[in-house]
Structure formats: structure tokens, C-alpha cells
Structure 1
């Protein structure tokens, strides 16, 4: 008959111990819920960390910014979005061409990069919350890159919103609705056609 001491031994726990992958998954789950409830602008790293039961510093260790965390939560590769941010570096005189090309290229590259974005667009068509998140996120990306170049103009947000709306329209026509002849044109032709308008909106007095 087993002794009392033996019967009180705690059983060895089997299976994989919680680790980095579990923590990342918990953070992403918390981020998805928080972004859905508060939207991109109102959600904070501190609140997401609290929801996940971790420290804010740990969230920033895994994800360098709120934008990268949103991208990860939405399964959009951060590298793809970084190329859009990089387009704002360079001479102001050519910013329209760079931004237009970088944005439209997102939808012409590796399917691993653009398919999650297309999924977000399709969700936004039927779900207002998804549409709100997408609008806030894209506008925030543009605002981060362009506002410093607009010399604190009071209409900076209007300019950025107009540009993002224009480029969203081109993407919807080309990748979702598939409007001809937009869907059949090569990228260089579209960039040449659209970028002068983007340049004017962003930089005109």
C-alpha cells in the first residue's frame, strides 16, 4: 500500500511548457480583440499588454510599434508595410511617384503579402468595424510619413485622407472589382497616370 508521502507527490506535468510562442499568441489574441473594440487609433500598447497579462515592454520587444502589432494581428507582413513607410524618405519633389508606386506595389508583390490585405478589404466591404480599422490604420501610416513634410498645414489630415482614398479606389478597381482597362494595365502606366495627382494633393500650396 502506498505511503501517505508518496500519495501526496505532485504528478509531473506533461506537455510543452508555456513559452515564447504561447506568449506571442496571447498578445495577438488580445490585440485583435482590443483593435476590434477600440479601433486602431484608440487602442494602446499598455491596454493590450494588460489584456494579455504581460508587461508593455514585452509587447514592444516582440513588436516594435503599434503598427507592427496591428499588422501581425491582421496577418499582414510588417516588411510589406515598411516599404510604404520608406517611400516617404527622399526629395519632396518626387514624393507623389514614390508613394503611389510603393502603395500600388503592395498589391502586385508576393501573394503572402497582398492576400491578407485583400482579405482586410473584403471584410471592410461588409463589416463597418473592419472598415473603420482599415481606414484608421492606413491613414495613420500616411500621417506618420507625410505630416512632417506638410509643415504643420492645417489641412494635412484632409490631404492625407484624400490621397489614401484615391489609392484605395485604384486598388479596389484593380484587385477586387476588376474594372477594365484598369485591371489590364501594367503598374508603371498606373503610377505614371496617378502619381501627378498624388503629388499635387500632398505638396500644392
Structure 2
């Protein structure tokens, strides 16, 4: 009598054709899972289930959850380019351009948004994610916005803007504060943009506090 093997169990035990294709499927599943659940709640077994492979196969590609997470946190170059483009042009309405670009790359296509959201959720419990997120934000701001301008306390200004932008995304994408999740992007841009503008583009010396 021939042993019966269900299609599901065959797919479960079998290896997908092509190592690179299988590895990418695991990465895609892990990226979505880390973005949705965070580092602590994500398990190798859950990722394997999402990818339709055995957990042992995931471990062959990535020796630990930390290594898998590190591979997931690769922000696509186009996301960096899009963020950098916000700083091109004059200082007029720079804050609004930065906030708009930031929200768009965090809430746009999954390839850009999921690594960033994985960083954000993982930063709470994973030092590597914390460092990666900090470097991504602060270096982008320092290189693209502040280093090209003559301002005092450049590093501090980059840190302040980073905190403002991350706080916005924590409230909107992680905590789910109703007033933030219910607001459309342009409303947020119009409200947060001027605050970011005031940090990135300080008024000329002697103009602070002038009431006219």
C-alpha cells in the first residue's frame, strides 16, 4: 500500500526550488513579521510557517533570530534617495518636505516601510535595531540637512528632529494613538512641518524673539 502524503505536508517538508528564491521568501516573510510583531514576539517557527518552509531551513540560511533580523534591516537605496531628495532646493518649507518624505517612506510600499517598521518595533528590545535606527535617522539628517548648512549645534539639531519624527511614527504606527492614526498625511505635514523647520533652519542671528 502506498503511503499517502498530503499536498500540504509535501510542501511543508520540501525545499522550494532555487536556494536564492527560498532565501528571499524567508526574508520577505521575516520582514513582514518583524514589522508587524516586533523582535521579541517574532519566532523562527512563525517566519518558517509564513514562508512555507521548515524552521530548520530558515536556520540553515540564518543561524539565529539576531542574524535573520540583521538581514531584514536593509533599507532599500531608493528610500534613502527619497529622503535625501527632501533636502534639495531652498530652505523655504524644508520642514514640511522632510516630514512628508519621512511619512511616505514609512507608510509607502512594503519594501521600504517594512524594514523601517521592523527597526522601530525591534529597537525596544534589540540593541542592534536601536543602533541601526539611530544611525539611519541621525546620519541622514546630518549629511543631507545640517552638514550642508551653517548652523550651530548640528548634532543636537539632528537628534531633536530624529526624536520628533520617530515619536510621530511610534504614536501613529506602533501605539496607534487614535488622533494620529485618523489624521491624513497632509494634516500631519502642516502641523509638524513648522516645528521641524524651526530646528533645521534657525532664524538669522539677532532675529530670535523679535516681535516686529
| TM-score, length basis structure 2 | 0.59
Q: 1:156 to 1:141 in 2, by over 3 A?
A: same
CA contact (8 A) 2:105 2:112 kept: yes
The alpha carbon displacement at 1:84 in A equals 0.2
CA contact (8 A) 1:150 1:202 kept: no
Instruction: Compute the RMSD of aligned alpha carbons.
Output: 2.1
CA contact (8 A) 1:76 1:117 kept: yes
The alpha carbon displacement at 1:73 in A equals 6.6
C-alpha distance in 1 between matches for 2:132 and 2:76: 17
Q: 1:136 to 1:76 in 2, by over 3 A?
A: closer
Matched with 1:97 is 96
The alignment of Structure 1 onto Structure 2 pairs a total of residues equal to: 136
Matched with 2:81 is 82
Pairing partner for 1:197 from 176, 195, 198: 195
CA contact (8 A) 2:173 2:181 kept: yes
CA contact (8 A) 2:147 2:154 kept: no
5 Å matches for 1:46-195?
A: 74-151=73-150, 153-195=151-193
The alpha carbon displacement at 1:154 in A equals 3.3
C-alpha distance in 2 between matches for 1:75 and 1:155: 30
The alignment partner of 1:114 has SS state of helix
| TM-score, length basis structure 1 | 0.61
Gaps in structure 1 of 5+ consecutive residues: 1-20, 22-70
C-alpha distance in 2 between matches for 1:94 and 1:72: 36
The alignment partner of 1:204 has SS state of coil
CA contact (8 A) 2:122 2:129 kept: yes
C-alpha distance in 1 between matches for 2:75 and 2:198: 30
CA contact (8 A) 2:73 2:118 kept: no
Kindly provide the CA deviation profile for residues 33-66 of structure 1, in whole angstroms up to 9, marking residues without a partner as x: xxxxxxxxxxxxxxxxxxxxxxxxxxxxxxxxxx
C-alpha distance in 2 between matches for 1:134 and 1:76: 10
Gaps in structure 2 of 5+ consecutive residues: 1-19, 21-69, 204-212
The alpha carbon displacement at 1:107 in A equals 1.8
The alpha carbon displacement at 1:124 in A equals 0.6
